[in-house]
Amino acid sequence: MADVLHRPPADRATDDRSTAELVQQAGEQISRLVRDELALARAELTEKGKHAGFGIGLFGGGGVLALYGLATLIAAAVLLLGQAWPPWVAALTIAVLLFALAGGLAIAGRRQVRQAAPAVPTAAADSVRADVTVVSAAMKRGRRS
């Protein structure tokens, strides 16, 4: 687009192009503009993808360390209860509590997944349909004029 805006003024002889030539030139410029915009978007997404990948890796590493910390706390709870009860009863009690907590989380998670269904982006699809309707109506009005 910049080459069109900054080219030297054409003389009258070269500026007498036909409508077909002008339409063809506009099509080429639009095509080049779309390709350039897509290349820019691709480069931007690649850069953001690199940062996101690195961040996800760090987040995963933190999650693994948190899991080990939780396991250590569970072991400490078993050892603490083992002071008052036989060790097998302490371990069994902690295991039952953990399974009950896991079951509650699974039920809550299933409820959330059911609320997310269907996985179709209905709002976006409705918006596209509305856009198509508006453009179609504008084109029909333009033909009648």
- Contact by Cβ (8 Å): 121, 108: no
pLDDT at 12: 46
pLDDT at 9: 54
Give me the tens of pLDDT residue by residue for the chain, a chain 145 residues long: 455 555 555 554 456 788 889 989 988 999 999 999 999 999 999 999 999 999 999 999 999 999 999 999 999 999 999 999 999 999 999 999 999 999 999 999 999 998 887 767 777 778 888 888 888 887 788 676 5
pLDDT at 1: 46
- Contact by Cβ (8 Å): 29, 4: yes
